[in-house]
Structures are given as structure tokens and as C-alpha cells.
């Protein structure tokens, strides 16, 4: 339960849809419960996020196979935004600052969504979930050196996307 928010955040960035992310996390939690005996006790967060990742790729393959039988539904294609957190009263709170933060978040989210999946995956795990290179390596099933090179490339691409959208 302690890592549920991280699992949902990661699933959201993989699936790019809040409803699908919820389904993926729910399935991942069922898998985690089923295979709890395989948990080595070292890092529960990395273990759960690895299950979320594997569940996402299983879900992705299934939806690709099912896609040919799904009718067009424009509501399903509508963009989904974040639920805004309820702000607690704070004397230093200002509407202007809140709007600026919200716009900055959307700006970064748009740039993140443009990254290729492999790059978005590692940058979300490192920068948003603050996982170590070793944990990311375990979750993604890639060597630490590959994590480092993907992060470097992801950061460069993210910066390019941010600069490009700033110039518009």
C-alpha cells in the first residue's frame, strides 16, 4: 500500500490514460499478492514497479490484439487531465502562482508524453519516482549502463521538446 501512488504514477506514464493506469495497477496488485512469496524483502517499491511494468506490457499486447474488434468511440479517445489536488489554506498561496505551476506541469507533461517509451520510462522512474539507477535497472530489466545512457538521451530529448514548445 505504501507504494501504490508510485505504481499508479508509473502506470499512468506508461499507459498515458488514468483509467487504463488504474486497471494496470489493480492487475499488478493482484499479481503481487499472488506472487508475494517471490519477494526477496529488499526493495518493495522496485519489486512492485517491476510488476506494474510487466503488467503494462502484457496489457499492451492484449489491447493491440483486441484493437481490431473495438468500434470507434470518440469518448475513449478524449484527452484526460490530472485531478487537481485540493489545496490546503496557506497564507502564501496565490492564484497566480497556482496557475503558473499548473501551466508548467502541463508544459512538462506534454514534453514527457512526446518521448519514446523507453526514454519516458526511465526518466519517470528517476525524476518523478526518485528511484536509484540500480532499482530502475531491476524494474526495466536492463543493465545500469543502459539506464544511464537512456536517462542522458531522455533528458536531452526532453529539453529539446521543452525548448520547441516554448518557442511556439
Sorting pLDDT into bands at 50, 70 and 90, what band is 116?
A: very high
pLDDT, tens digit, for every residue of 55-111?
Answer: 998 888 888 766 544 444 444 444 444 333 333 444 455 566 666 777 777 888 888
pLDDT, tens digit, for every residue of 23-46?
Answer: 999 999 999 889 888 887 778 888
The DSSP string of 69-134 is GPPP-TTTTS---PPPPPPPP-TT--HHHHHHHHHHHHHHHHHHHTS-HHHHHHHIIIIIS---HH
Rounded-to-integer distance, Cα 59 and Cα 61, Å: 6
Domains of the chain: which residue ranges?
1-69, 96-168
Give the chain's mean pLDDT: 79
Alpha-carbon dihedral sign for residues 27, 124, 140, 47? negative
Rounded-to-integer distance, Cα 15 and Cα 25, Å: 11
pLDDT score of 15: 87
Per the confidence metrics, is the pTM higher than 0.85? no
CATH number of 96-168: 1.10.10.10
- Whether domain 1-69 has CATH 3.30.310: the reply is no
Amino acid at each position: 500500500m505504501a507504494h501504490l501512488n508510485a505504481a499508479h504514477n508509473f502506470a499512468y506514464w506508461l499507459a498515458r490514460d488514468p483509467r487504463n493506469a488504474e486497471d494496470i495497477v489493480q492487475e499488478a496488485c493482484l499479481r503481487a499478492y499472488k506472487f508475494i512469496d517471490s519477494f526477496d524483502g529488499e526493495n518493495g517499491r522496485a519489486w512492485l514497479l517491476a510488476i506494474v511494468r510487466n503488467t503494462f506490457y502484457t496489457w499492451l499486447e492484449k489491447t493491440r490484439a483486441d484493437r481490431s474488434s473495438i468500434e470507434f468511440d470518440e469518448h475513449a479517445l478524449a484527452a484526460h487531465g490530472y485531478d487537481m489536488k485540493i489545496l490546503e489554506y496557506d497564507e502564501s498561496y496565490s492564484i497566480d502562482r497556482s496557475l503558473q505551476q499548473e501551466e508548467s506541469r502541463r508544459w512538462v507533461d506534454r514534453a514527457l508524453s512526446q518521448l519514446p517509451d523507453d526514454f519516458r520510462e526511465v526518466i519517470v522512474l528517476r525524476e518523478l519516482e526518485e528511484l536509484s539507477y540500480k532499482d530502475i535497472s531491476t524494474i526495466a530489466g536492463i543493465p545500469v549502463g543502459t539506464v544511464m545512457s537512456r536517462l542522458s538521451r531522455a533528458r536531452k530529448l526532453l529539453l529539446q521538446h521543452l525548448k520547441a514548445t516554448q518557442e511556439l
